[in-house]
Structure 1
Amino acid sequence: MRFDTLQIAKDHYNNYALRMGFSVKMNTSRRTGNVLVKQQFCCNKYKKPKADDGGAEAPPILDPIPDPRPVDTDEEMEDEPPIFAEEEAGASKKKKKRKRETIKQTQCKAKMLVKLMDGRWEVTYFVRDHNHPLVNRPSLSKYLRSHQGISPDEKEFLRILYNCNLTTGYTKTDPDFFYKVKYDEEDRVVNIFWVDGLARKAYAEAYHDCISFDTTYMTNMYNMPFAPFIGINRHGQSFMLGCAFVRQELASSFDWVFGAFLEAMDGKPPNNFITDQDGAMRQSIQSIFPTTVHRCCRWHIMKKA
């Protein structure tokens, strides 16, 4: 395989590690002058086990309660961060206790070596097999060190929300989070669409028969209509299947939003689509969802009547 940049090669191997259930570290590298020409990525259990324990899993260690005197006893952990931490604070708020688990090193040989050749990074050596059990549950493998944190794209999305005075609370539940942003010629945000992985899965498996879309919700500061995609589950409860902000309620804006929704849902259009009687929406639905039955919302009809 060949990659345009070293970062893309690293991301590819790390995504592979997430699916397989291990964590990745950058190991040895080689430079020619100031130019990096070789880089090795390896399993984070690549080190030799300690000679005194034969590689046995180290038990959790309780840090001693700090002395009242100002003595710095913190040590930097090179490998995985603490799995859990506890703090005990008395009246003086001086007592602190942390429980740590250290990672078991097995001298694992799994690795991927890439070399810079003709301006691209080519995989020249690859070892697939590990000498230790892998994490076989995706709900746990995401907590390994190389899979923690927020991707650059998601950081940019949170920055956009923050600049628009929107809440940026973030919890990454799975790797299928989807979002898309449209800018105008002055690099200002025009439209935003996003949907989480659970909603995408629910839509694909069962809940694509009838979707409601409404733009009557407004934000305070920028007057951008908030447009949620709402579905109904088997219990008659409504739930979110995507959200959008649109600068202007034009056919071109709805074309973009509906196109983003279709892209997020792997090209599967809803069977029925309920909206108000907006002409721009009707035009976009006919263009983007030609096989979908467009229905008008009874609440809007009765309100106008």
Structure 2
Amino acid sequence: MEPENDCAWKPKQGMTFDSEQCVYDFYNTYGGRMGFSIRRDFCRKNKINNQLICRLLVCNKEGFRKGDKRDPLSKNPRAETRTGCEARLYVKLDEGTGKYVVTDFKEKHNHDLVSPECAHMLPSQRKISTTQAIELDLAAQSGLRLGQSFELMGREAGGS
């Protein structure tokens, strides 16, 4: 984790952003540094022009999964991943400036955070470059299955 006195990368109430995507990218970067994954939760849009009015970004472990609709005697039910974490970032559109303003930020997690060495494996942190995406498309067009394509990329990089 980064030192507490370096606050440029930490969300604060009153911060402004040009777009909802900028808010997501900032909070996702913060989550990667701290060791948690994020997801988009709630949003409200203007009914007239369909513009986003507010957005809630939450920790990936927020809430609880709904009951399983499948057979209750299923042999391999999925493990529970959510813990009811309350970490969140809420932004609202300031109609005067057209920018998104942080109105609520909670940083307290009720679960262990991931170490920085493993943070790249979290769901919201998994990214591939444009070049890698093109290579995967070419491999698929050549008839390679997805697993084979990733194995090829791993060998090119010198290991998985």
**TM alignment of 1:4-15, pairs within 5 A:** 4-15=18-29
Which of these residues, 1, 16, 28, is aligned with residue 2 of structure 1? 16
**TM alignment of 1:245-260, pairs within 5 A:** none
Find the counterpart in structure 2 of residue 269 from structure 1: none
CA contact (8 A) 1:49 1:106 kept: no
SS in 2 for 1:42: strand
1 or 2, which has the higher strand percentage? 1
Q: Distance in 2 between matches of 1:145 and 1:44?
A: 8
- 2:20 matched to 1:25? no
Find the counterpart in structure 1 of residue 123 from structure 2: 145
- 2:115 matched to 1:126? no
Higher relative contact order, chain-length normalized (CA < 8 Å, sep 6+) = 2
Find the counterpart in structure 1 of residue 89 from structure 2: 112
Q: Distance in 2 between matches of 1:133 and 1:51?
A: 24
Could you give the per-residue CA deviations for residues 183-237 of structure 1, whole angstroms, max 9, x where no partner exists? xxxxxxxxxxxxxxxxxxxxxxxxxxxxxxxxxxxxxxxxxxxxxxxxxxxxxxx
Could you give the per-residue CA deviations for residues 139-194 of structure 1, whole angstroms, max 9, x where no partner exists? 211111000022xxx41xx28x97xxxxxx575x9xxxxxxxxxxxxxxxxxxxxx
Could you give the per-residue CA deviations for residues 33-63 of structure 1, whole angstroms, max 9, x where no partner exists? 11111011000111226789xxxxxxx938x
SS in 2 for 1:108: coil
Change (3 A) 1:103 1:48: closer
**TM alignment of 1:138-217, pairs within 5 A:** 138-150=116-128, 154-155=129-130, 158=131, 169=153
> Structure 1: which 5+ runs fail to align?
53-59, 63-100, 163-168, 174-305
TM-score (structure 2 length as normaliser): 0.62
Q: Distance in 2 between matches of 1:18 and 1:27?
A: 18
Q: Distance in 1 between matches of 2:23 and 2:80?
A: 25
Could you say what the CA RMSD is over the residues aligned between the two structures, in angstroms? 2.9
Q: Distance in 1 between matches of 2:79 and 2:118?
A: 17
Find the counterpart in structure 2 of residue 47 from structure 1: 63
Count of residues in Structure 1 that have an aligned counterpart in Structure 2: 114
Q: Distance in 1 between matches of 2:120 and 2:80?
A: 16
Q: Distance in 2 between matches of 1:124 and 1:103?
A: 31
Residue 130 of structure 1 deviates from its aligned partner by 0.5
Q: Distance in 1 between matches of 2:52 and 2:58?
A: 17
CA contact (8 A) 2:57 2:90 kept: yes
Could you give the per-residue CA deviations for residues 91-143 of structure 1, whole angstroms, max 9, x where no partner exists? xxxxxxxxxx63421111100011111211111110010011111x2221111
Q: Distance in 2 between matches of 1:111 and 1:129?
A: 9
Could you give the per-residue CA deviations for residues 222-275 of structure 1, whole angstroms, max 9, x where no partner exists? xxxxxxxxxxxxxxxxxxxxxxxxxxxxxxxxxxxxxxxxxxxxxxxxxxxxxx
CA contact (8 A) 1:49 1:107 kept: no
Could you give the per-residue CA deviations for residues 68-101 of structure 1, whole angstroms, max 9, x where no partner exists? xxxxxxxxxxxxxxxxxxxxxxxxxxxxxxxxx6
Amino acid at match of 1:121: Y
Q: Distance in 2 between matches of 1:50 and 1:26?
A: 18
Find the counterpart in structure 2 of residue 176 from structure 1: none
